[in-house]
Amino acid sequence: MSGHPPVIVYPPTPSGGRRVTVRGQIVGLAHGRGDVASFLRQAGFAQGVGEIDLDQPELIEWRGGDLDTWR
- Report yes or no on 24 lying in a domain: yes
- Report yes or no on 37 lying in a domain: yes
Minimal CA–CA distance to 31: which of 16, 20, 41?
16
* Whether the Cβ atoms of residue 11 and residue 65 lie closer than 8 Å to each other: yes
With a cut of 70, say whether residue 4 has pLDDT above it.
yes
Domain extent at residue 25: 7-62
Whole-model pTM: value is: 0.89
Indicate the number of domains in the chain.
Answer: 1
Cα gap 36→59, rounded to integer Å:
12
Give residue-wise pLDDT tens across range 15-50: 889 999 999 999 999 999 999 999 999 999 876 666
Residue length, the chain? Answer: 71
Check residue 49 and give its pLDDT.
63
Apex 44 CA angle, 16 and 60, nearest 5: 45
- Report yes or no on 39 lying in a domain: yes
Check residue 17 and give its pLDDT.
95
Check residue 1 and give its pLDDT.
44
